[in-house]
A and B are shown apart, each in its own frame.
Chain A
C-alpha cells in the first residue's frame, strides 16, 4: 500500500537551532516528491519538488534532499517566521484516467522560539 509517514509530528526549536524533518515513503514507481509549507488557517504553499534519488533543492534556510526511501527537509538557523506545518506528498503512478495520485503525509508542526 502506498504510504507517506512524516516525523516528528511536532518539533520545537530555538531560533538558530538547525534540525531536519523526515518524510519516509513506500510507493511503487515514485513520480515526484513535494514539500509544502502550511500556516494555520491557510492553504499549503509549494516549496520544492524532487524527482530522483540524490537530488537536492534549496530555498533560503531550507534544503530538501531525496533518497530511494525518504526525504529530509533541513532547516538551517531557523527563525520564528519559519514556524508552520510542513507537508510532504509523493506522486504515484496514475489511476486509470491519467491522474497521478498524490499521497500526503500528516505533516510536521514546527515551532521556532526566539
Chain B
C-alpha cells in the first residue's frame, strides 16, 4: 500500500460544484501539503499544515480550502469549481523543515 493515499484518483465535475479531494498518510509525518501540477508550470503549493491546528496558505490558495482532520488526514476542497482548476493535484508529507517531501499518486480533476 502507498504511504500517501489520495482519493479519488480521477474525477470529472461540473462548473460550480463542490468537490473534495482526500489524503491520508501512514508515514507518521506531521507536515502535509497540497500541490497542483499544470503542464509547463511545475508544481505549485496550494496549502500546507504543520499539525492539526496549523493551516497555512501557499502560493495559489484562492478558490481552495483545506481541513486537517487528524495527523494522518488532510483534505482539499474546491467550494465552487471552475474550469481553470482542471489539473493534477498532489498531496505530500514531510517529517520536518528541510526534510524530503514525499508525494501521493495524484488526483486528476477535470472541471467541465
Contact = CB atoms under 8 A, between A and B. Distances in A.
Interface of A: 4, 31-32, 34, 36, 41-46, 49, 87, 89, 91, 94-95, 97-107
Interface of B: 4, 40-45, 48, 50, 56, 90, 92, 97-98, 100-106, 108
B66 to A, nearest CB: 14
A32 to B, nearest CB: 6
Closest 5 CB pairs of A and B: A43-B103, A104-B42, A104-B43, A106-B42, A44-B103
Contact of B101 (A4, A41, A102): A102
B102 A46 contact: yes
Contacts of A104: 42-44
Nearest to B42: A104
Contacts of A41: 106, 108
B34 to A, nearest CB: 12
Given A42-B105, A43-B106, A34 B100 contact: yes
B111 to A, nearest CB: 19
Nearest to A94: B97
Given A45-B103, A103-B42, A104-B44, 9 more contacts: A43-B92, A44-B43, A46-B101, A91-B98, A101-B45, A102-B45, A104-B43, A105-B42, A106-B40
Contact of B56 (A45, A99, A105): A99
Contacts of B92: 43
A100 B97 contact: yes
B42 A87 contact: yes
Nearest to B54: A97
